């Protein structure tokens, strides 16, 4: 086994077998945690023995990580690189900074928060986006990540979009283009790769491609007007990779999703737009591809491995998370041996991979000291920038601050928190400001999700009247399937309005939920909206609702 942290050169392509070349085109998913018993998604994240086999023996080209804290990721990435005979690209979906995925690092508000700042001050928004790119690159490298799967350059002009939502910088191609390019500029002094996604544009869909295949019915002229300009801008700004979208766009290809379409990847992206960097598929295990592949396999058309072959035929250089890495590699090799794919086609992709790995070569020796690590992650300036983005993008209204004393002393104040899934709320621990600050002021916590309440509008059997602070944590997320209010939230909103119990409202996440609720919210009811859901956003909200002197808020200096 090569002790990789000391190796900083790439082998000659002519010295590699076909299998080794193809393996370099595969990026696998791995848990960011250090031990097998910590694996959270066993369907996608292999145990250590299989992971080591895929890296050391198969020679896969890269790994995408999820889970674990920032310090754990530093050790994890060192271990993965030590198994590799050829340097690994190590990627992560860190669209909101490293802290979005790996606690301990800086967690920025979603990109749409910067887009909201741009509506008032584009220059300030661009400064924020560039600083976000700089901090993300710095912290990513500190923990061993050299491939940032950001920025999202989709134009979220569909409020019903269940998966892009606040991940986009905005609703117009002009805003998205300017802010995405600023983010890319912020990374360019660092040996990291950036990624424009999801080509040719996932913003105007109402279907989550993690679950099924969206169809985008727009004409070519409309695509060139709305969806494509941010990709063109990102390419001009020097983005390193472009990620495909699992979408069916009949005006470009009536038969195959963009990920599997030569007309989309080669004809449009490579030739028409002139992109010379890496084309990477979105995860091939996603429902838009995997589900349709399984259905199609029944008709002897294509299965999981066939999707990998078709993606290469279409023009993809890197296959992200194929259903089975080993059989996908073999299927592509077989396609080459049968003449379906040329050997030159494989070489052209691996040459691009080599160029990308050469760019990030300085990231491979991961021998920085603990002190050096601590000086690069969650620095005061980075945290301050994230908080200022939260403050500059928030929306407030009604009568502030909130009066917390009930009319009758025997009335119990209620802090009602609704989330999509109680089991997936890392941002709402025991001491989270949304929970702790109201508790100090006498509020009793009631915490529910979409599984907890009836799915009908029958409120007769719900609890009785109580002055209620309603806090909603709702945003578009992969696998959620909807960007709108959950049924449970709709039931509670109607009940609180009917009983005149709506004491205050805090929304963290989707701005479209705020717009929906403001139509019925009495004007005197105080409300707060934040794009972010992290503890810092919660602390700002509770400070504003209860006044600047709320005990334990920890963010009074920003108000």
Known catalytic residue: 198?
no
Assigned token pair, 452 = 């907890």
CA–CA distance, 234 with 133 (Å, rounded to integer): 13
CA–CA distance, 438 with 444 (Å, rounded to integer): 8
Q: Which of 154, 204, 253, 282 is an active site residue?
A: 282
Q: Is the dihedral of CA 32, 193, 178, 164 positive or negative?
A: negative
Contact between 140 and 98 under an 8 Å Cβ cutoff? The reply is yes
For residue 439, what are the CA distances in angstroms to 220, 444, 464, 500?
A: 55, 6, 20, 22
Q: Which of 198, 202, 210, 218 is an active site residue?
A: 210
DSSP per-residue letters across 388-408: HHHHHH-EEESSSSPP---SS
Number of residues assigned to the chain: 559
Known catalytic residue: 6?
no
Assigned token pair, 213 = 């295949």
What 3-state DSSP class applies to 177?
Answer: helix
Contact between 149 and 94 under an 8 Å Cβ cutoff? The reply is yes
Q: Which of 358, 382, 318, 362 is nearest to 98 (CA)?
A: 382
CA angle 49, 55, 58 (to 5 degrees): 100
What are the strands, taking DSSP E only, across 86-161? Answer: 89-92, 147-148
The residues that are catalytic are 210, 282
């Amino acid at each position: 086994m090569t002790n990789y942290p000391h190796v900083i050169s790439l082998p000659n392509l002519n010295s590699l077998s076909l299998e080794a070349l193809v393996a370099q085109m595969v990026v696998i998913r791995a848990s960011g945690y250090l031990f097998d018993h910590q694996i959270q998604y066993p369907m996608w994240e292999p145990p250590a023995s299989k992971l080591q086999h895929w890296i050391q023996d198969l020679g896969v080209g890269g790994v995408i990580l999820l889970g674990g804290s920032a310090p754990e990721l530093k050790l994890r990435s060192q271990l993965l690189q030590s198994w590799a005979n050829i340097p690994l690209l190590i990627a992560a979906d860190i669209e909101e900074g490293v802290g979005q995925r790996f606690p301990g690092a800086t967690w920025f508000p979603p990109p749409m928060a910067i887009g909201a700042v741009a509506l008032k001050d584009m220059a300030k928004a661009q400064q924020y986006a560039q600083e976000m790119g700089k901090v993300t690159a710095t912290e990513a490298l500190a923990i061993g990540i050299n491939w940032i799967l950001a920025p999202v350059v989709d134009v979220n002009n569909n409020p019903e979009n269940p998966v892009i939502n606040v991940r986009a910088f905005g609703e117009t191609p002009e805003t998205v283009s300017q802010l995405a390019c600023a983010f890319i500029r912020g990374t360019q002094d660092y040996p990291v790769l950036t990624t424009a996604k999801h080509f040719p544009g996932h913003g105007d869909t109402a279907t989550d491609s993690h679950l099924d295949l969206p169809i985008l019915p727009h004409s070519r002229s409309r695509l060139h007007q709305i969806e494509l300009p941010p990709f063109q801008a990102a390419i001009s700004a020097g983005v390193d990779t472009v990620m495909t979208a699992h979408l069916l766009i009949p005006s470009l290809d009536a038969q195959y999703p963009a990920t599997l379409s030569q007309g989309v990847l080669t004809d449009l992206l490579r030739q028409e737009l002139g992109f010379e960097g890496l084309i990477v598929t979105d995860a091939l295990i996603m429902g838009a591809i995997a589900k349709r592949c399984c259905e199609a396999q029944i008709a002897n058309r294509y299965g999981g491995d066939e999707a990998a072959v078709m993606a290469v035929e279409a023009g993809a250089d890197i296959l992200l998370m194929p259903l089975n890495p080993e059989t996908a590699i073999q299927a592509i090799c077989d396609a080459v041996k049968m003449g379906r794919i040329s050997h030159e086609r494989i070489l052209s992709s691996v040459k691009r991979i080599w160029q990308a790995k050469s760019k990030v070569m300085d990231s491979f020796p991961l021998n920085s000291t603990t002190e050096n690590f601590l000086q690069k992650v969650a620095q005061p300036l980075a945290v301050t920038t994230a908080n200022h983005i939260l403050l500059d993008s928030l929306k407030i209204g009604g009568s502030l601050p909130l009066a917390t004393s009930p009319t009758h002393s025997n009335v119990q104040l209620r802090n009602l928190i609704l989330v999509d899934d109680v089991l997936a709320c890392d941002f709402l621990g025991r001491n989270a400001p949304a929970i702790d600050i109201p508790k100090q002021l006498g509020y009793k916590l009631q915490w529910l999700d979409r599984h907890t309440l009836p799915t009908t509008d029958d409120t007769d059997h719900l609890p009785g009247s109580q002055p209620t602070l309603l806090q909603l944590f709702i945003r578009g997320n992969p696998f959620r399937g909807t960007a709108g209010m959950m049924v449970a939230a709709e039931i509670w909103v109607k009940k609180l309005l009917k009983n005149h119990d709506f004491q205050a409202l805090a929304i963290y996440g989707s701005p479209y939920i705020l717009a929906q609720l403001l139509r019925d919210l009495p004007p005197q009811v105080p409300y707060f909206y934040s794009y972010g859901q992290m503890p810092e956003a919660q602390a700002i909200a509770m400070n504003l609702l209860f006044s600047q002197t709320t005990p334990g808020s920890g963010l009074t200096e920003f108000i």
